[in-house]
Amino acid sequence: MVQLNNEAREIAVKVVYYGPALSGKTTNLQALYQKIDPAVRGRLMTLDTKDDRTLFFDMLPVFFRTASGLKVKLKLYTVPGQVIHESTRRIVLQGTDAIAFVADSRRSEAASTLAYWNNMLKNLEANGLDYRTLPIVIQLNKMDLPETRREGEFEDLRRVVQPPMVPAVAIRGEGVVETLWALLTVCYRSLDRNLGLETRWRISEQEFLSRIFDHVDKRGTSLAQEAAPR
């Protein structure tokens, strides 16, 4: 649930990157961190687990203020992918407003990817979150590797809900900005329905997205024209 402080005129939106171990969650945040203007980004924080393989979480707070004077804080997290960190994944999901599910597109990882998808749905339910209405985008990562599934071959992840899908090669920064753009688009629409962002707070979808992506380096992305200031 979005954190709204009426007195301070501040909204905090929590975005979580979820997926199997080594699927590219941390790579996404690291790539975004490099693309965001240092003037508006926070410090990228990481806590290593005792096995020194999986990051406990990353938090990347980004701040901007709308024309109406509302301060919006965007907080990006990842969850640890290894099976032993199940309880941590559930905790990190608490209060989330939107999820980017990072899928490893290789056919050899299909079973693991589906298992983590179902695990995410279960953990959302455990936190009292309805995955049927929660903004979710699936990133199809590692599309540069051999033996990857195409977009139409991920119906196993779309049996219950039908989230948008974005192809990516996160290690090269490809599809990283597009994933966040798609996710924040559906997130805005959800928040608008619940909070009246446009009618009550005078924040249009265009302003919400442009205030964020005006501070993101979009060179080499499909958003170079779409996200440019108008």
Counting the structural domains of the chain, the total is: 1
39 within some domain:
yes
Q: Any idea what the CATH number is for the domain that residue 121 is in? A: 3.40.50.300
177 within some domain:
yes
**3-class secondary structure, 5:** strand
DSSP sequence for 13-52: EEEEEE-STTSSHHHHHHHHHHHB-TTTB---EEEE-TTS
30 within some domain:
yes
227 within some domain:
no
CB atoms within 10 A of CB 174: 18
Q: Is the pLDDT of residue 64 over 70?
A: yes
Span 84-95, mean pLDDT? 76
Predicted local distance difference test score (pLDDT) of residue 1:
61
Tell me, rounded to whole angstroms, the distance of Cα 11 from its chain centroid.
17
Give tens-digit pLDDT for 118-138.
999 999 999 999 999 999 999
How far, in Å, are 5, 53, 141 from residue 115 at the CA level? 37, 20, 16
Q: Is the pLDDT of residue 53 over 50?
A: no
226 within some domain:
no
Q: Which domain holds residue 23?
A: 3-221
Give tens-digit pLDDT for 192-221.
999 899 998 899 999 999 988 998 999 889
pTM: 0.90
CA distance 156 to 133: 19
